[in-house]
Amino acid sequence: MANGNSFDPEENGGSDALYFGLASLLILAVTVALLIAEPFTPRLARYPHFELTASESGGRVRIDWDPSMRSVVDADAAALDAIDDGVVHHYDVDRKILSQGGLEYRPRGTDVFLRLSLLREGKVLSESSVRLLGRGPVAPPASAAETAP
């Protein structure tokens, strides 16, 4: 056409339409990949750190937390991981114990690290830890079976 303001796809050999089509396919592919990788399911909220306290008495360590904290209330279970003089112990903590606000652990050594992870549907909501150092060693349990918290 004589008018310089009009667009003629024939002038560009159809390359603009090709680029538009490829860009559309790329956007569609990225959208599908994101939907597959991150479906529209609600994510579990990550809660702030909650306070965990520990005190020793009579060869046992009492671990306490506030059972009214939202992260504790929303948890359906917990996991207590204890590193006791380098030996790792794992204990499952049920909802009933969580609602009581504490439990006892019988340490076997002088360096004890305890981490309580609050769980919902198997995913960590929040966790807190405490470390105890310098106590005298505690006698092992009378039986060979490990004592649960």
Using an 8 Å Cβ cutoff, are 53 and 69 in contact? no
Supply the pTM of this predicted model.
0.60
Q: Is the pLDDT of residue 148 over 60?
A: no
User: Cβ–Cβ contacts within 10 Å for residue 90, how many?
Assistant: 8
- What pLDDT, in 10s, does the model give residues 70-110? 999 999 999 999 999 899 999 999 999 999 999 999 998 88
Mapped onto helix, strand or coil, the DSSP state of residue 12 is coil
Percent of the chain whose pLDDT exceeds 70? 71
Domains of the chain by residue range? 9-41, 53-133
Greater confidence (139 vs 22) lies with: 22
Domain 53-133 fold is Immunoglobulin-like (2.60.40)
- What pLDDT, in 10s, does the model give residues 5-51? 555 555 555 678 888 888 888 988 888 777 776 666 555 556 777 88
Report which DSSP code applies to 122: T
State the pLDDT at residue 13: 57
